Structure 1
Amino acid sequence: MRWIVMVLAMWALSGPLQARQRYWDADYDSLARTLPRQTADSARLRTIVHLLDLRPTNAEARPLLGQLLVLNQRLQTLDDAPYRRLRAGLLLWDRSSPAALDTMKAAINEFDRVGRPIPWLLINLVSLYNQQNDMAARKKYYEEKLTYYRLHNATENITACYISQGAYYRRMGDYNRAINSTLRAADTALLFSNKLHINEIIVTGGLYADWGNNAKAVQYLSQAQAMPEFRRVQGTNRVFTFLALSKLFGQQKRYPAALRSADSALAAHVSDPSEQQVDRACALVQKAAVLLQMRAIDQAAPLLQRAQQLDDSLDLPMSSGPGEFEIDATLAQYYVAKGDYQRAEKHWLLAYRKATAARLDRLRPKYLQQLAAFYDARGQMVEAQRYSRAYIALADTFRTAQAAFNVAQYEGERIEQAQNSQINNLRQAQAVQAVRLRLGNRLLLGALLAVLLVSGLGVFIYRQLRVNRRNLAQLRQTQSQLVQAEKMAFLGELTAGIAHELQNPLNFMKNFAEVSSDLVEGMHGEGAARSADLEQEILSGLKQNLQQISQHGQRASSIIKGMLEHSRSGTGRREPSDLNALAEESLTLAYQGLRVDDKSFEATLDKEFDPRIGAVAVVTQDIGRVLLNLCTNALHAVRQRQHEARSGAAYVPTVLVSTRRPAGRTVEIRVKDNGTGMSAAVQAKIFEPFFTTKPAGQGTGLGLSLSYDIVTKGHGGTLTVESREGEGTEFLIVLPA
């Protein structure tokens, strides 16, 4: 009976959902063909409203709005104030009036007032913001509208806001948040439009391709193509799919596949005439770019010529159509291949200026890099260095601003939400089982009182209890597996942190290596005519770059070494060890190591060792690593305070290492210094991985984290710290004896 009720409930819920999807996935052209055949005014009005919901701003919207207002004047079945405001906004839009944006926003407010979903109107409003080049106002508007629609549970409009936000973050070059927004749009679109859902899956694949994560790009684009609904995707979205695949195949040097995808984009059906011209221009440029990669220069020329003609007649902005219209960058590559460097320079500079004016931050680093390479190849070293520095600064700014990895954060959130849902279901199932167990116990008590009369019932209840206990055990086992999955998720976060820490030094090494390569090529560009001063300047720049590469390489090596030590900690065999000798040796080694780098440094080393401590079973290598790390940190702290002390100040750097065996089965090791000390905020984070107070490039932040794991996890002890700023620090190790 329970299953019958559940099936009926699912059937009742699926009906409205399917009707909702049929409404928003309806074919516009088929719907438009049915309009002239309808004779009843009410049916005509419903069809016109449906057409305007699907395409509220295209060329056919103006006459449809006129028919709607005339029909509604007779029928009086809907509040037509939003449609009147929409018609006024479209008229201003046609005249390119600055007031069009405010009027269209007022129309959206009117639709919100009557509770009418208008996802496509919200999406198309982006064009007006782009025309005014007011990105800050655009971002603020869609954030406010998203908050409003969340409060009112307006699913269609929430999806539209996520789509608009994704396009904004892509334009700004913030791929992490762009993908987060498009995935959220894809998830919410499932509730009302399969077509829009697959569109956002396609966009996610394109974003990952632009971000450089080709594996994820292939995953999402292949997922979209495998969906049955993909054959229904037409227009700009279909063109976007094939252009994204063409760019991806071009990056992988799979040129035949890249050409086929570009041809598919050119052959895609686009019903809207204005969109058709824009999409065709973008497809022509992409196919020409693939041909230039293949060195087929003469075949690329007519394609670029047709694209330029479309641009001249339509005055296409860079951000129009299925992606960016990169006609100038492609023409620059063409003229470089032809050896016409004057025209190539003109188009490279024009491409960079257009990207800057349109605030397309994702294209600016690419164009700066291309300009630096272009001037370097021409031997114009001053210009090459200027654009190289601008590229490095801009790239570092973007990486710092995003502070993310090449897998969007929302994908992790999706997995976490699924796991939380499973855990909640298990908890509910456990509660049901607990109730059933209590009920079974009561029934068993009643059966014992009347065992002769209800013996059969008692046997049934006993068997049911066994089944319930077995189910409860299975639920507990599943819960343990989920806890283990959460631990693995934490391991994934830690691995992502390592990747993030390694990314910065590797990027610096790559950038300095590229600049050095450019400088070396520049040394041989002018032959004997080069002055000795310029060569000396180039050699000096090479030396500085090599020093930077070495420093960042050492930092990457120290990060890897620290994590390997993390993975090996606690894996050795415990043996009886003399902790007094081990502590003295560690202090001496740390002092000698610091004196190698700074021969002027001197400190007082105090030792207070308890002879009663005896031999303690520890992993000697691991405890030695902990003591060496603590002694090194203490010496660094007293040296730093000595440098900060004013001239003539009576300060004696002192480090004390002591051991003690108090009453009970424990031993204590203390490392105390009179150095700079730490604030309470620093003490709270001191044992976290990758946390360090040392200057950038001088510490990995793994030493104390590793020491903490060795003492607590590897030996079952404790590692604590007490410190006061300006007075000193004391670390206390307590180990079981």
Structure 2
Amino acid sequence: MKYFCTLLLLLTGGKPALAQTPKIDSLSRLIRQAKTDTARINLANAKTALLTQTNIDSSISLALKTIEQSKRINYKKGEAYARMHLSYNYSFKGNYAAAKANLKRAEALSLGDSAQLMRVYINYGTTYGMQSKYDSSIAFLEKSKVMAERLADSSALRRIYMNIGISYSMQSNLPQALQYLQKSLTIAEAQHDMGSQAFSLVNMANTYKTMGNVKESVQTYQKGLKLAKQESFKNVELNAYANLADIYDEMHNTQKAYETAIKAANLAKEIGDDGMQATSLAKAAKMLADQKKFAQADLLIKQAITIADASNQPLNIHQAYSNMGYILKRQDRCAEAIPFYEKSFAVLKETDIYDQQTGKSYEELAACYEQTGNFPRALATFRKSAAIADSVRSKENVQKTTELTMTYAFDKKQQVAQAEQQKQNVLAQARQRALQWGLGFVVLLAAVSFYAYRTKQKANLLLQFQKQQLETQKLQLEDQKKQLQTTLTELQQTQQELLQAEKMATMGKLTKGIVDRILNPLNYINNFSRTARELLGEIQAVTQKHQDSFSAEEQDELEETTTMLEQNLTKIHEHGNSTARILQDMQKLLKERSSSYVVTDINLYLTQQMDTSFKKALATHMPTVPIKLNVSLAPQALPVNLLPVEFGEVLDGLIDNSCYTLVEKCRRVKGFEPRLEVTTCLVDDQVQLQVRDNGRGIAQKEIAQLFSPFFTTKPTAKGTGLGLYTSKEVVEEYLQGQMRINSIENEYTQVTILLPLTSTFLTPVV
């Protein structure tokens, strides 16, 4: 099942906003510095447009505030533009009644101002487009197009052409769609507007995708993505990724399709676009179903349906419910799938969608009717599917669109060739004029110098010869000087690198020696502190026997002193042990690594190592905690190059971290069931090892620092902050793999290690 995602642009005036914090910060400063109320309101409207690209809820809040300020000073233009922004944002949230009410008020405020009224009509077109009522959308956009042409407003025409093209595309009128999108792109290129070029390119790519022109579609998506990232247009990135997921699905690369759909869903959530988030999650669920991961697919599609229902956008609701039907059908649960398909088509009754996906969904529903024995409805539904498919992919439709594509590409090449020819003509004319002037000057000079040349010919020849010799010598000297300078620079650089390498080696040896020297006295300190605590206990026992010989005041003072001394010794022992652990980890960090690599099956290695690591971690923390260990290994052998000792330390550290956080959560959460999962699998020619626990998790602000030396989320007495740092060094520098951590606070922590799949030895890293 494939989706066709469209991109509707904010068309209330001005250039599309960049989703950049510096621009928003700059506008906030200008608003504070504004000297008049009208200037402040105009700047607030500009900021509202910016926020629409990054945070729809913040944009709505600012628009409401701006409306109240405009009404207070009777600034109708400011109120009209604020209501247009508010209408657009309400449409994204699915609140179409509020969107239309604000547009009606903006229309009343704009009477008599053609430019402002034109933008109101553009907003009407956008609002109907978001409701998938494309006939109504085109009607308002055509009305605004006439006004924009009369006003010669090329920026408005660029946006109008784009949205008309989107509407025709959703009705599968591909020639009309491509024609308008090409017009929009031409204006954007003439204005050097990279953001609008990105919008147009992504929507043109959608049209190529519907045509089945995968190569042209992918190339155009990539061009649009490059410009969108350059301009920080996250909503354009979102639509590009959402549609690229469909293409990867057509190529049967379901894993990449799933990852791309999830990327689109995360972007939609960040922007606040509920509809696109629902659609992207529905796609990801479909990809999971195609991989027969039905349990995960069910969870994801239910989340998509919940978000889609809240968005109140017919196309997104249709896509979510039809995908639920598809997932059930894949499990041969056609009777359960039928209500979801029927729900998906019910929400399209008042829309103007005639796309390929709708036809495909009808075909799937027909198959479900047939399987459940409802043959009359199966036949009727199949006929609808065939009619839509014939309309969308008709030979005439695709042929006209292909001709337009080829004509547009030819025109672009012809324009480039004409520009190059004009450039060459100008250069040729300049050369010709320079030659004529030079020739005239030479003739004049020859006439004046003729007599002198004849009388001084020998002297001039001799002088010229000497001059040439001097020039040759000068050039030779300059070449020698450059060569010597280059050689000197290279020697100096090499010398500096050698000195730095020698210095770092010396520092490493010195540091290792210092650590070794410190550990011995530190161990004495720890032992003496423990012994002192025992002696203090004996002193307290003796004083207890003879407490009658002390006065009450002396007893209180003695008790206070011994208590304080006991606390101090406890702290000395606690921090001494913490320091010793840090130094021991530094010894591991500074010691020379083994250069003996072993090719081994990671599954066999884990079978031998896991039990030891798990028991060691439990013994360290709390053996009585009932941690459930689930080891799920890939069915096939997964050979990798390992340093067995160093990788064993990595595994020990990961299991120890998981057991620690599970024990801590058991202490704090009543009825908590601790789980630890270790899995292996093959992912794109790489061996993936995952260690996941359902413990306390890690705060997002701390994840970026986890691999920094001496950073730890544990208390001072529990962690040193070197375990993950050394583990990442072993995995990435010595084993040429990758290591990353994902976590949600109070839910889970997951460590993923990717190692190259191999059957040969690696070259040791020195």
Higher relative CO (CA 8 A, sep ≥ 6), structure 1 or 2? Answer: 2
Question: What TM-score, normalized by structure 2, do the two folds share?
Answer: 0.47
Question: What TM-score, normalized by structure 1, do the two folds share?
Answer: 0.48
